[in-house]
């Protein structure tokens, strides 16, 4: 016993170092796995408050650009609205069941945005009390941004599309070929898409949209355009470089998409997933 | 002694805020950020108990991790560089550093440069290896380490010159 104590005292630096290092590595490994509640997170009230305070200071500088963005979006939405009103006029509704919506949108502001790391996160100024919760899709007026991974009372953390842990089902706008998109960590303006069959009509400049196969994003959220493409080693799938519509380095106002029928769809899928031994969530 | 304690607490808080609110948002060429908070580790009194030093460095790194959502990468890097600091010190200032009550500001320029460069480089190498966490991307790790180290060194020397006390 005495020897053990002597040993610990003599090598106390190394012992303390190894203990703390294993704790830090534990946090690191936890951070590299998706869908796990994390200890180290910017959504706590101290860091969240500081980030939101510093964001408030800088907010006035790009008010003009943000106004422009919102105006453009309003213009586009008004055009869509008048077009769909025209359509509705021509259809006589015979069904007595009211048409209800599947998605609800909420707005939030980005208070911290990383894009220089391998795995990037975004912090928003809204949390549980504003209806934000895990697995909501986040978009900006131009396109896809990320998925809410964790929400505290007043802040939420979004896993950015610029993160190796996030894969999103997207595809070509002009045909129904879908693949999975994930970032290779290099350029924050381009993102990589794999698993598109070589028979798909791929051309430079084509638009990529979300596939709508998950409960997170509805179909048709714009992602980007095809910048370049090659065939993979097996010569059966395309490796596509997408130029994002969104400037991920300059995000301010974003929208969260809540799927209102999520529980209902999950309850339908659950028995099947138990059969396949594949849990849908977590 | 009390004065040193106060200076170090203020420095600790100031560097965390500087890093989290200013330096993390620079993103030069899209991906280069300076990590100047390790000035705390560079300047921390050389004669303090090593165990306390390890604990404080760990807390420093962890605070940065909280802001960046990066798990424990800054904590690991700060801790490692703090653990290796006695070795780096004796390598750059000679073995006798322990017996003399040396201060950073009183050492020769060449020794100081070597000491700071070693600390920054080791810190950044551990940091980016853990952040990217994939040996496939070893070139990216080295590239990020090199460019970020150069940028960090410039910022660190600017901060050190600005806040050096002339005595």
Please state the ipTM of this predicted complex: 0.84
- Within 10 angstroms of residue A58's Cβ, the number of other Cβ atoms is 10
Q: A-chain residues within 8 Å CB-CB of B53?
A: none
Distance from CA of B39 to the nearest CA of A (A): 20
Q: A-chain residues within 8 Å CB-CB of B20?
A: 47, 50-51
Of B55, B69, B76, the CB nearest to A25: B76
Better pLDDT: A161 or B103? A161
Give tens-digit pLDDT for A60-107.
Answer: 777 888 888 887 888 788 878 877 777 776 665 555 555 557 788 888
Of residues A163, A164, A135, A156, the one with CA closest to residue A147: A135
Q: What does the pLDDT read at residue A99?
A: 55
Burial class (CB in 10 A: 0-12, 13-18, 19+), A151: buried
Contacts of A123 (CB under 8 A, 6+ apart): A42, A43, A48, A51, A110, A111, A112, A113, A155, A156, A157, A158, B69
Residue whose token pair is 């190394």: A14
- The one-character DSSP state at A167 is -
- Best mutation target, B18, B49, B50, B69, to test chain A (most A CBs within 10 A): B69
- A239, A227 contact by CB (below 8 A): no
- pLDDT of B119 above 90: yes
Give tens-digit pLDDT for A190-231.
Answer: 999 988 888 888 888 899 999 888 888 888 888 999 999 888
Judged by DSSP in three states, A1 sits in coil
**Do the Cβ atoms of B72 and A28 come within 8 Å?**
yes
pLDDT band at B56 (very low <50, low <70, confident <90, very high): very high
Chain B residue nearest residue A31, CA to CA? B71
Of residues A106, A194, A195, the one with CA closest to residue A156: A106
Q: A-chain residues within 8 Å CB-CB of B31?
A: 115-116, 188
pLDDT band at B32 (very low <50, low <70, confident <90, very high): confident
pLDDT band at B117 (very low <50, low <70, confident <90, very high): very high
Contacts of A49 (CB under 8 A, 6+ apart): none
Q: From CA B119, how far away is CA B122, in angstroms rounded?
A: 5
Q: From CA A5, how far away is CA B109, in angstroms rounded?
A: 42
pLDDT band at A134 (very low <50, low <70, confident <90, very high): confident
The answer to whether A12 faces chain B, any CB pair under 8 Å, is: yes
Tokens of A244: 């994002």
Question: Which residue(s) pair with A106 in the sheet?
Answer: A256
Q: Are strands A207-210 and A190-197 parallel, antiparallel or unpaired?
A: unpaired
């Amino acid at each position: 016993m005495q020897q053990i104590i002597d040993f610990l005292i003599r090598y106390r630096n190394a012992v303390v170092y190894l203990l703390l290092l294993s704790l830090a590595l534990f946090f690191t490994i936890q951070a590299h796995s998706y869908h796990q509640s994390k200890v180290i997170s910017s959504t706590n009230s101290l860091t969240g408050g500081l980030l939101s305070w510093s964001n408030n200071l800088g907010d006035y500088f790009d008010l003009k650009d943000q106004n422009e963005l919102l105006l453009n979006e309003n213009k586009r939405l008004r055009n869509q609205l008048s077009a769909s009103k025209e359509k509705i006029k021509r259809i006589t509704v015979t069904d007595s069941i009211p048409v209800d919506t599947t998605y609800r949108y909420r707005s939030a502001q980005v208070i911290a945005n990383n894009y220089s790391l391998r795995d990037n996160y975004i912090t928003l100024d809204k949390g549980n009390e504003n209806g934000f919760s895990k697995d909501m899709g986040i978009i900006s007026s131009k396109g896809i941004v990320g998925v809410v991974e964790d929400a505290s009372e007043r802040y939420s953390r979004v896993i950015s599309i610029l993160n190796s842990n996030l894969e999103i089902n997207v595809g070509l706008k002009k045909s129904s070929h879908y693949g999975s998109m994930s970032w290779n960590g290099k350029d924050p303006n381009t993102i990589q898409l794999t698993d598109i069959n070589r028979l798909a009509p791929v051309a430079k400049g084509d638009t990529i949209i979300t596939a709508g196969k998950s409960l997170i994003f509805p179909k048709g959220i714009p992602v980007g355009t095809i910048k370049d493409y090659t065939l993979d080693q097996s010569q059966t799938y395309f490796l596509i470089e997408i130029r994002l519509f969104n400037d991920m380095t300059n995000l301010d106002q974003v929208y969260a998409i809540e799927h209102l029928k999520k529980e209902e769809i999950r309850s339908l899928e659950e028995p099947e997933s138990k059969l396949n031994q594949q849990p849908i969530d977590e | 002694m009390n004065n040193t304690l106060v200076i170090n607490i203020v420095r600790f808080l100031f560097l965390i805020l500087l890093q989290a609110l200013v330096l993390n948002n620079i993103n030069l060429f899209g991906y280069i950020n300076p990590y100047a908070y390790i000035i705390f580790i560079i300047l921390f009194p050389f004669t303090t108990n090593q165990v306390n030093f390890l604990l404080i460095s760990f807390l420093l790194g962890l605070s940065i991790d909280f802001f960046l959502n990066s798990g424990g990468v800054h904590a690991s890097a700060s801790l490692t560089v703090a653990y290796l600091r006695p070795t780096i010190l004796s390598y750059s200032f000679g073995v006798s550093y322990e017996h003399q009550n040396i201060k950073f500001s009183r050492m020769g320029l060449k020794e100081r440069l070597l000491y700071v460069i070693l600390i920054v480089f080791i810190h950044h190498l551990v940091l980016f290896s853990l952040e990217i966490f994939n040996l496939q991307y070893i070139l990216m790790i080295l590239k990020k380490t090199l460019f970020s180290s150069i940028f960090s060194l410039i910022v660190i020397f600017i901060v050190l010159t600005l806040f050096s006390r002339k005595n």
